[in-house]
Amino acid sequence: MKNHMRLIRSGAQFAVQVFGGPLVKHHRPSVDVLFRSVAQVAGRNAWGVIMTGMGDDGAQGLLEMHQAGARTIAQNESSCVVFGMPKEAIKLGGVDEVVALTHIASRLPRSIEEAR
C-alpha cells in the first residue's frame, strides 16, 4: 500500500512520518499532504521545490508553504517532461522563482547558516 508522508516536529528535531489515509485529489502519496505539513511545522525555515509532473498535486501545498514564509522554486517549462505541477503552482502564485532543472540545486542553500 502506498502511504502519505508529513513533516512532524519532536522537540527541536524534525522527522518524517509515514501514514495511510484517504486519497488526496486521487493521490497517495500526495505532495500536497507533505508540503502542507512543511508549511505548518517549518514555515519560513523551509524550502519547497516542485518539479515536472502531471496534474496539480503539490500546487496548493506549495502555495501554503509560500504563504508561511518558505522559499519556493518551480521547474521551468522548457526543462520539464510534463509542465503540469509547476504550471499549477505558478498559476496559484505560490512560487518565488522559476528555474531550469539544471539550476535548481544551485538556488538552494548549501548549509543551514546560508539559509538564514
**Which CATH number do you get for residue 24?**
3.40.50.180
Q: In which band, very low, low, confident or very high, does the pLDDT at 109 lie, cut at 50, 70 and 90?
A: confident
CA 115, 113, 102, 16 torsion-angle sign? negative
| Number of domains the chain is built from | 1
Q: Which three cell numbers stand for residue 114?
A: 546560508
Q: Reply yes or no: is the peptide bond before residue 86 cis, omega within 30 of 0.
A: no
Q: Collapsing DSSP states into helix, strand and coil, what is residue 77?
A: helix
Range of the domain at 58: 4-115
At 28, which amino acid appears?
R
The pTM (predicted TM-score) of the whole model is: 0.92
Residue given cell 500546487 in the structure block: 59
Q: What is the pLDDT of residue 1?
A: 67
Report how far residue 57's alpha carbon sits from residue 64's, in angstroms, rounded to the nearest whole number. Answer: 13
Would you say residue 89 has pLDDT above 90? yes
Residues 6-63 pLDDT 10s: 999 999 999 999 999 999 989 999 999 999 999 999 999 999 999 999 999 999 999 9
Would you say residue 114 has pLDDT above 90? no
